[in-house]
Structure 1
Amino acid sequence: MPTFTCPDLPLDGLLRAAALRDPGGIAVRGAGTALGFGELDALSDRVAAWLERENEGRPGVRIGVACVLDPLFAATYYGTVRSGATAVLVPPQAGEEGLRHVFATAGVEAAFVPARTAGLLARMRGLLPRLRTIVVTGAPDAALPGTVLALRTVLQSAPHAPRSGPCDPASVACVQFTSGTTGRPRGVLLTHRNLVANAKQTALAHRLDRASVTLNHLPLYHAMHLNSAVYAGARQVLCQDPGPFASLRASAEAGATHYYGLPARLHRLAADGPDARTGRAAPAGSRLTAVFSCGPGLRPKAARAVRERLGVPVIQGYGMTELSSLTHCRRPGDHRPGTVGRPVAGTECRLVALDSRVPVEVWATGEVQVKGPQLMAGYLGRERRAARAEEDGWFSTGDVGYLDDDGALCLVDRLAGVPGRGGGNAPRARTGQAAGQAAGQAAGQAAGQAAGQAPRLAGSGRIVAGRPGPVHAVCPCCAGTPVARRVRPGHAAARTATGNAVPEPEPSGTTVPVLPGRCPAPEEAAGQAACPVRGPAVPVTARTPDVRGGPGNFSESVREVVCDAG
């Protein structure tokens, strides 16, 4: 693996370096607001200076920063870490329960949030005794409650420059909460080095440079996209209009080279006809080089339609909050549907057997483990490495997949009892009704492992048709015993750095051969098939579970194999 060197900078140093290189260049442009790198750096200085005064110079104070798709998010995010405080990322769409969990768990003392979130927090003040100050971004003073400050007022009263000294790259810069698809969201501790390393890794994987223009059509401002663009010196354009055709017009007007979109919106783009406003197909601009699907997995059919409509590859990747977030990515010039790509620079990936934990060979299925400089420092309240991080630095993701001959990762399932990880990334082979069984499955898995049994897959009784290679299925009548088999090519759903894959129906005629003495293949009709425990004459029924759409569901058009043995 080529040597990867992490820049020796604090997180806000990415912005400082960009401002020194190109102070007049546009860093980020939103609706009615455009900030150059120099302006953004100066604004971050004012935020940092105000926080230093408010926090009385205490390091590590936790400050809530709402991930609003607005240029001011960049200023409050970098200003917070520049002050020596820790940024706690707040989803702006969160309700009272979600906000209470994030703010109480992290011990947030001040927050930069939009007006809606400020209103909710103001009503919850009695439940959040540590919250001292609420600052509203992008709102006029007259619209605010008396207990809430406007960012404009805060900046006017702030000193012009912070007094912060040198920063330890190993110190925590950010707390980001997981999606909580299988339990309460957990706060992930990300250091300056984690985030700076992943900024460079993402910029290299996405081929960002100073000539790049990124069009961000996501509902939130993900720190990964902000940091990677700032590292590269790229221009960012934020499109807050949720309409897919509006985003294409914005892309063309901005001369975008990289388009970041939510799969739900890309599905609409793939399905919709001509632009309703013009009656014509809406091109995304002649400079566009790739569309990056960020969030729930994009259906292969939709990816093909978007690729044909725009004439550029549609790229997906893999990652999770615990890994800052990106670990794998398809490359624009190496587009292979069915995989989430090869590891990004400086990242190692291996798969280990579910029972022995011994590394497996290419095409063999196992649990995905990752090692790299982007691996988190630990979880909030448990300031150490995660329990699933091995002594030698390998992080066990809980995802099950296999590697092809070129080192590209294909995902097929998730281990039962392993909490869902960052940002809604964790794949699911279970349908919604299985969520209530998670605690029991976790206990059963722990007991089974203690007794020397193999871990149970979340998708019990399911198998995925992917590239040729052994894949683990679980026979329901065999107490969760994983069964290895080979499968023919089919659709293996990809997963991006911020979401769950969505199932895509298998093409007609796809078949999966049955190995002697193994469970039935998913595409077989009901009838007699082999079970490794009960023998070669177990009647089975093949049916397709309804798992389409919805957060937390992961499938690659698998069929559920139900054993009819008593």
Structure 2
Amino acid sequence: LSHHIILSNLDACRMVFQPNRTDCICGVLPFFHSFGYTATLWFPLLSGLSTVYCPNPLDSSKVGEAAGKRKATLLFATPAFLLNYARRVREKDFEHLRIVVTGAEKLPHRIAKLFDDKFGITPLEGYGATELSPIATLNIPDVELAGVKQTGTLSGTVGHPLPGVAVQVIDPDTLEPLPVGARGLLLIKGPNVMLGYLNNPAKTAEVIKDGWYNTGDIASLNKSGFITIHDRLSRFSKIAGEMIPHLAIENELKRGVESVENNLIVTAVPDVKRGEKLIVLFTDAAGNANSLQQTMTASDIPNLWKPLPSSYYKVDAIPMLGSGKVDLKGVKNLALHRVGEEGS
């Protein structure tokens, strides 16, 4: 990432956030994470905004106290952090917030509603990657000028591309552009795209072709230009010739779970007969294997998508990264370990 690339992302963010000198950012994201590095370090520094930093984003009482004392108006956080704040931060501490942006992982509707019900402000979901410096798309508040309304937010999507950023959805196999509404591989092009991976031209060439960055995510684009991320391509399992999305299965399972915590996740392990086998890891907060199986049985998703009764494994916790994201590699290793234990 060059200085120019990061500055282009900051300029685009300024266009959509329209910050002013009275704004104050509540900085909770770690600087080792690109979202925190760009949004809570360089964005306020180069925009002339004040910032109050909280070293431990999980210390909700300290975060609330700092935000309330400095009358913070902007908050960038992961869904996991927002859940903690919705449960433990006092309403008055967040009363000055005018924009709350979340990213790094998909924002569950229940967390968005919980936060909105308590603080009266809906988190705006965005999307990006370190290779995109990192913000590429974003929901923004609706705008009305001279009687004309521009819809900037659509629940369940990651919004529109930032100014100067182009997107397209292509068929993962043929690489041909797909029509509006079709699911395919998301490509992104713009001044925010990285120069490449350091000292690794081969890997760079794999993900950047003709200026388009291959995100590795399956997405769709509606007629109004809103983008929906369906899952990582790596989080699809090919079983009996069909691509099965792990996230869709998780969403079905969570319908029967009251808790909004990260209490279950779907992954896959190699299987001699079918190529891959779906695995569900769950904690106590998600219930038990029988209740999850009953939810899956009652679901109207295709039977091929439903994990086998023997594929549910209770774990102490779902592996998480320091950034607040699910540790997908840790999840895969844990699943392999549990399946291996059973087979030994």
What count of residue pairs does the alignment treat as equivalent? 267
Name the structure 1 match of 2:22.
211
From 174, 177, 185, the counterpart of 1:367: 185
Name the structure 2 match of 1:265.
81
Letter in 2 for 1:319: G
CA distance in 2, matches of 1:384, 1:330: 34
Going from structure 1 to structure 2, the CA distance change for 1:389 and 1:209 (only over 3 Å counts) comes to: farther
Matched, 1:542 2:317: no
Name the structure 2 match of 1:379.
197
Instruction: Report if the CA contact (8 A) 1:378-1:384 is conserved.
Output: no
Instruction: Report if the CA contact (8 A) 1:251-1:259 is conserved.
Output: no
From 199, 212, 222, the counterpart of 2:10: 199
Name the structure 2 match of 1:223.
37
Report the CA distance between 1:293 and its aligned residue.
2.3
Matched, 1:400 2:218: yes
Instruction: Report if the CA contact (8 A) 2:126-2:137 is conserved.
Output: yes
Report the CA distance between 1:230 and its aligned residue.
2.6
SS in 2 for 1:283: helix
Report the CA distance between 1:412 and its aligned residue.
1.4
Instruction: Report if the CA contact (8 A) 1:300-1:504 is conserved.
Output: no
CA distance in 1, matches of 2:243, 2:122: 36
Letter in 1 for 2:4: R
CA distance in 1, matches of 2:19, 2:202: 33
- Aligned-residue CA RMSD (Å): 3.6
Instruction: Report if the CA contact (8 A) 1:338-1:492 is conserved.
Output: no
Name the structure 2 match of 1:357.
175
Instruction: Report if the CA contact (8 A) 1:340-1:408 is conserved.
Output: yes
From 109, 123, 138, the counterpart of 1:329: 138
CA distance in 1, matches of 2:106, 2:59: 19
Matches within 5 A, 1:108-147: none
Report the CA distance between 1:357 and its aligned residue.
0.6
CA distance in 2, matches of 1:258, 1:312: 11
Going from structure 1 to structure 2, the CA distance change for 1:391 and 1:220 (only over 3 Å counts) comes to: closer
Going from structure 1 to structure 2, the CA distance change for 1:383 and 1:230 (only over 3 Å counts) comes to: farther
Instruction: Report if the CA contact (8 A) 2:95-2:119 is conserved.
Output: no
Going from structure 1 to structure 2, the CA distance change for 1:203 and 1:503 (only over 3 Å counts) comes to: farther
Name the structure 2 match of 1:448.
none
Report the CA distance between 1:328 and its aligned residue.
0.7
Report the CA distance between 1:271 and its aligned residue.
3.7
SS in 2 for 1:340: coil
Which ranges in structure 1 are unaligned for 5 or more consecutive residues?
A: 1-189, 276-280, 417-428, 430-458, 461-473, 485-490, 494-501, 509-522, 531-538, 556-566
Name the structure 2 match of 1:237.
52
Name the structure 1 match of 2:262.
none
SS in 2 for 1:380: coil
Instruction: Report if the CA contact (8 A) 2:30-2:37 is conserved.
Output: no
From 33, 55, 70, the counterpart of 1:254: 70
Which ranges in structure 2 are unaligned for 5 or more consecutive residues?
A: 143-151, 257-294, 321-325, 332-344
1:323-363 Cα shifts (integer Å, max 9, x gaps): 11110111133332211111011000000011211111111
Report the CA distance between 1:367 and its aligned residue.
0.3
Name the structure 1 match of 2:122.
313
1:338-394 Cα shifts (integer Å, max 9, x gaps): 111110110000000112111111110110000000111111113588223454311
CA distance in 1, matches of 2:252, 2:113: 12
Report the CA distance between 1:270 and its aligned residue.
2.9
Name the structure 1 match of 2:147.
none
CA distance in 2, matches of 1:553, 1:351: 24
Going from structure 1 to structure 2, the CA distance change for 1:310 and 1:483 (only over 3 Å counts) comes to: closer
Instruction: Report if the CA contact (8 A) 1:249-1:282 is conserved.
Output: no
Report the CA distance between 1:292 and its aligned residue.
2.1
Letter in 1 for 2:199: G
Return the structure number with greater helix share: 2
Letter in 1 for 2:109: P
Going from structure 1 to structure 2, the CA distance change for 1:291 and 1:545 (only over 3 Å counts) comes to: farther
Instruction: Report if the CA contact (8 A) 2:252-2:296 is conserved.
Output: no
CA distance in 2, matches of 1:492, 1:407: 22
Letter in 2 for 1:254: R
Matched, 1:477 2:240: yes
Instruction: Report if the CA contact (8 A) 2:219-2:228 is conserved.
Output: yes
Letter in 2 for 1:231: L
CA distance in 1, matches of 2:14, 2:132: 15
Name the structure 2 match of 1:18.
none
Letter in 1 for 2:176: V
CA distance in 2, matches of 1:196, 1:492: 36
SS in 1 for 2:136: strand
Instruction: Report if the CA contact (8 A) 1:363-1:405 is conserved.
Output: yes
SS in 1 for 2:4: helix
Going from structure 1 to structure 2, the CA distance change for 1:524 and 1:237 (only over 3 Å counts) comes to: closer
CA distance in 2, matches of 1:504, 1:541: 11
Report the CA distance between 1:198 and its aligned residue.
0.8
